[in-house]
Chains A and B, each alone.
Chain A
Amino acid sequence: MTSKHRVALVSRDTNTRHQLANYLTSVGFDVEECGELALPTAYSAVVMVAKDDIAPDSLETQVRTWIRHTKLQRVVVVTSRPAALRALLLAHAARLYVLAAPAFGWDVVDALRASGPGPLPRGA
Chain B
Amino acid sequence: MIRRQQPASIVLEPTMTSPVMRAFDRVLRAVAAKDVTVTFVGESGAGKEVMARRLHDLSPRRAGPFVPINCAAIPEALFESELFGHERGAFTGATERGLGKVEVASGGTLFLDEVAEMPLAAQPKLLRFLETRRFMRVGGTKKLEVDARLVLATLRPLEDEVRAGRFREDLYYRIQGVVLTVPPLRERRRDIPMLIDAFIARLAAIHDCVPPRLTRSARAALLAYDWPGNVRQLRNVLELATILRSGKTIRVHDLPAGLERTARSSAGPTIATFAVDLDQPLNTIIDRVVERVIDEEGGSLPRAARRLGVSLRTLQRRRA
Contacts and interface: CB of A to CB of B under 8 A. Distances in A.
Interface in B11-34: 11-12, 14
A8 interface: no
Contacts of B205: 79-82, 100-101, 123
Interface residues of B, number: 22
A88 B57 CA distance: 31
B190 to A, nearest CB: 19
Contacts of A49: 9-10
A108 interface: yes
Contacts of A35: none
A106 B201 contact: no
B206 A121 contact: yes
Contacts of B57: 27, 105-106
A26 interface: yes
Nearest to B211: A80
Nearest to B57: A106
Contacts of A83: 208
Contacts of B134: none
A102 interface: yes
Nearest to B207: A123
Given A100-B202, A100-B205, A123-B207, A113 B10 contact: no
B23 to A, nearest CB: 22
Given A80-B201, A123-B205, A123-B206, A102 B63 contact: no
Contacts of A26: 62-63
Interface residues of A, number: 32
Contacts of B66: 106
A78 B9 contact: yes
Interface string A61-85: 0000000000000000011111100
Interface string B51-64: 00100010000110
A119 B14 CA distance: 23
A60 B7 CA distance: 23
Contacts of A122: 206-207
B198 interface: yes
Interface string B186-211: 00000000000010011011111000
Contacts of B10: 16, 19-20, 49, 78, 101-105, 108
B183 interface: no
Contacts of B11: 102-105
Contacts of A113: 65
Given A101-B9, A102-B10, A103-B11, A82 B62 contact: no
Contacts of A14: none
Nearest to B201: A102
B78 interface: no
A25 to B, nearest CB: 10
A28 interface: yes
Given A16-B8, A105-B12, A122-B206, 18 more contacts: A20-B10, A27-B63, A28-B62, A28-B63, A49-B9, A50-B9, A78-B9, A78-B10, A79-B9, A80-B9, A80-B201, A81-B208, A101-B205, A102-B8, A104-B11, A104-B12, A106-B53, A106-B66
7 contacts: A27-B57, A28-B63, A49-B10, A50-B9, A102-B8, A103-B9, A123-B207
Interface of B: 6-12, 14, 53, 57, 62-63, 65-66, 198, 201-202, 204-208
